[in-house]
């Protein structure tokens, strides 16, 4: 099996997706934390986008979390995708749906101005409402089988849990399917262990540094 090293940023949701998959499959890997916003020179050389995650596979770089996860799923069977091609494609479509939610979340929490924050919050809640319509609460996206699509969405719920605990802001209020899915995901060992110990402190520091409306 190849030697794997994940280049990470402690509060990055995209990295978290790869960590969950690595843990879920019990794959051995090394991890190195950097700040992609002030990257070391060696990272600039190996990352075409300047973003994390980058997975070094026998020292060869692979970028984009979705691609990294598809690679790991293929190389370390059994696959966590449904077998049926249509269902698999549908799951992948919802994985695509979840990706821009991280940008909405980031914009929502990093905005300085409360009224702008509320506007972005409404957009984010609309995205959640779209997900609510297809979530099953049984508890996983595909019912009783944990899949790649669950991994793609899990970091959304880690972050919503942070907002609820730290600011009493519950964006899952009234979204019952997502509440069930969220609980199941947050309690899953691979997800719980994918969060760095100082996650809340780092998030709070980032919000304060950005003068976010949430910390007012």
Ligand X SMILES: N[C@@H](CCC(=O)N[C@@H](CS)C(=O)NCC(=O)O)C(=O)O
Q: Does 12 bind ligand X (CB under 6 A)?
A: yes
The minimum distance between CB 21 and ligand X, in angstroms, equals 13
User: Cα–chain-centroid distance for residue 81?
Assistant: 17
Instruction: State how far the alpha carbon of 130 is from the alpha carbons of 75, 81, 148, 177, in Å.
Output: 32, 21, 19, 11
Residue of 7, 19, 22, 53 interacting with ligand X (CB under 6 A): 53
51 touching ligand X, by CB under 6 A: yes
The yes-or-no answer on residue 61 being catalytic is no
Q: Which of residues 14-43 bind ligand X (CB under 6 A)?
A: 14, 36-37
Nearer to ligand X, 145 or 205 (CB): 205
The least CB distance from residue 214 to ligand X, in Å, is: 18
Name the active-site residue from 4, 6, 7, 12.
12
The answer to the question of residue 9 lying near ligand X (CB under 6 A) is yes
Beta strand 60-63 pairing with 30-33 = unpaired
Which residues are known catalytic residues? 12
> What does the binding site for ligand X look like in residue numbers (CB under 6 A)?
9, 12, 14, 36-37, 50-53, 64-66
């Amino acid at each position: 099996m190849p030697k794997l090293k994940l280049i990470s940023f402690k509060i990055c949701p995209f990295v978290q997706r790869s960590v969950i998959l690595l843990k879920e499959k019990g794959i051995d890997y090394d991890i190195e934390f950097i700040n992609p916003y002030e990257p070391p020179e060696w990272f600039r050389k190996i990352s075409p986008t300047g973003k994390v995650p980058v997975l070094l596979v026998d020292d060869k770089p692979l970028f984009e979390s979705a691609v990294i996860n598809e690679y790991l799923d293929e190389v370390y069977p059994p696959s966590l995708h449904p077998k049926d091609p249509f269902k698999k494609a549908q799951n992948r479509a919802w994985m695509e749906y979840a990706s821009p939610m991280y940008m909405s979340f980031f914009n929502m929490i990093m905005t300085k101005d409360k009224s702008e924050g509320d506007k972005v919050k409404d957009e984010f809640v609309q995205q959640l409402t779209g997900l609510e319509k297809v979530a099953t609460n049984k508890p996983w996206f595909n019912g009783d089988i944990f899949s790649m699509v669950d991994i793609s969405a899990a970091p959304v719920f880690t972050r919503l849990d942070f907002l609820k605990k730290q600011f009493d802001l519950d964006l899952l209020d009234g979204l019952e399917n997502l509440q069930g899915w969220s609980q199941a995901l947050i309690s899953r060992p691979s997800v719980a262990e994918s969060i760095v110990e100082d996650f809340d402190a780092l998030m709070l520091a980032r919000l304060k540094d950005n003068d976010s409306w949430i910390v007012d």
